[in-house]
A = this chain, B = another copy of it.
């Protein structure tokens, strides 16, 4: 067998919807290279764990977060992407409900924080490319799979869902048409709870019914938001 000494890493782009805007989870590196730079959580894969296990472990260790949604994003393998050795990184795309997790720095990181995607710092390695890729994936996926609900609290306001879509898709959405469309899918439950957001008429809480979604999906229903 050919001599080959390439290291295999995993990195995760974790999105969360906080304070009415889209955030990304970053860690501050406390080792070289790029010591004190912000970076995506991740690290080397151990010999006896799968790639998914590796990302979940690193996420837990470095940030104390467990993803509510996780899928593979893309693999980056440019020869010089890591200044030390050849390292290829298999990246993952993750969504979390920020309220559910207390972030906490630990292994290999001396700080962890949510950054609004509008106010990102410089990132280590080629992590800005990875992030770009992840933003595209999020934008696309939002239109044909109900992943928006993995970014919101279990109970949410319709206006939050709408804001989330407008933020991520970067366009205006007609409130009436949007509501009509989503409700027509029959995957939401309207709860008997109202919430007053300070001023204005109190709004109803809704909840995503995953079972119902899977049922409809089996029957050929296709989630699709323009």
Contact = CB atoms under 8 A, between A and B. Distances in A.
Contacts of A86: 47
Count of chain copies: 2
| Chain A residues touching B, range | 20 to 34
Nearest to A43: B2
A203 interface: no
A8 interface: yes
B4 A88 contact: no
Contacts of A51: 75, 77, 88
Nearest to A8: B6
A45 interface: yes
Nearest to A45: B6
A44 B77 contact: no
Contact of A45 (B4, B44, B50): B4
B44 A4 contact: yes
A2 B74 contact: no
Interface of A: 1-2, 4-8, 44-51, 72, 74-75, 77-79, 84-86, 88, 90
Given A1-B7, A6-B7, A6-B45, 11 more contacts: A1-B85, A4-B45, A4-B46, A6-B47, A8-B8, A47-B79, A50-B78, A51-B88, A75-B75, A77-B90, A88-B90
